[in-house]
């Protein structure tokens, strides 16, 4: 066989094997993605989250005063204390809660929670019944993903609970 012909055949074989290997790698990656997405969907349907990412959520709440209202600083420290008591130090460090806004007149406030599971944090803040000697009940009203959305809800609730 001619040398040039052998060279061309070798090049063609090399190109074909390259195409086959690239295609198979592409298919494997694609298939893996499909399987992973399917697993996430199945997990979401069954209520379990595959991602344990910490997500930021804003909880719009209302402080129902039974006698007197706590101040912003008092409420923030009470909320942190109650979460610390309920979830423990590690749970508290994971939630990194912050009181964004609270108006004494309406009792409506916004609390930021950064957590992989916000419900235990919401439940623990709802257990708060006494803050600096003042009897209160905290009622969670809405959970939003953005602070802008939370402020929108606040304006609606403030007109409602004036």
Partner 1 sequence: MVGVEGVKMVENILMIPRIVINDIKNFKPSESYLVAYKPSKKEHARRAGKVKRVSTILFDENNIELCDEEQVEVMKRGSAALELLLRPLLDSNTLPKYLFMMRRCLELAYKEGIDILISSGARSLDELWPPGTIWALGSMIGFRGIASNWIEVLRRWRPGLHL
Closer to partner 1 by Cβ: residue 99 or 125: 125
Classify strands 55-65 and 134-144 as parallel, antiparallel or unpaired: antiparallel
Shortest distance, position 59 Cβ to partner 1, whole Å: 9
Maximum Cα–Cα distance for the chain, whole Å? 102
**Distance of closest approach, residue 54 Cβ to partner 1, in angstroms:** 17
* Nearer of residues 30 and 135 to partner 1, judged by Cβ: 135
CB of 98 to partner 1, least distance (A): 18
**Least Å from the CB of residue 104 to partner 1:** 18
Q: Which is nearer to partner 1, 45 or 47 (CB)?
A: 47
DSSP line for 16-81: HHHHHHHHHHHHHHHHHHHHHHHHHHHHHHTT--S----EEEEEEEEEEESS-PPPHHHHHHHHHH
The binding site for partner 1 (CB under 8 A) comprises 47, 61, 64, 66, 85, 117, 119-120, 122-123, 126-127, 129-130, 135-141
**Cβ neighbours for 15, distance < 8 A, ≥ 6 positions apart:** none
| Cβ closest to partner 1, residue 101 vs residue 117 | 117
User: Rounded to whole angstroms, how far apart are CA atoms 34 and 14?
Assistant: 30
């Amino acid at each position: 066989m001619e040398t040039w012909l052998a060279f061309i055949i070798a090049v063609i074989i090399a190109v074909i094997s390259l195409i086959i290997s690239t295609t198979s790698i592409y298919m494997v990656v694609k298939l893996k993605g499909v399987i992973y997405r399917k697993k996430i969907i199945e997990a979401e349907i069954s209520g379990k989250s595959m991602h344990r990412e910490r997500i930021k959520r804003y909880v719009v709440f209302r402080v129902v005063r039974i006698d007197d209202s706590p101040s912003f600083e008092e409420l923030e420290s009470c909320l942190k204390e109650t979460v610390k008591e309920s979830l423990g130090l590690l749970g508290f460090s994971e939630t990194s809660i912050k009181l964004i806004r609270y108006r004494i007149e309406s009792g409506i406030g916004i609390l930021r929670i950064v957590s992989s599971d916000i419900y235990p944090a919401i439940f623990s803040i709802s257990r708060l019944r006494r803050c600096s000697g003042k009897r209160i009940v905290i009622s969670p009203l809405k959970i939003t993903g953005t602070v802008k959305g939370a402020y929108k809800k606040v304006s609606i609730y403030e007109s409602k609970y004036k």
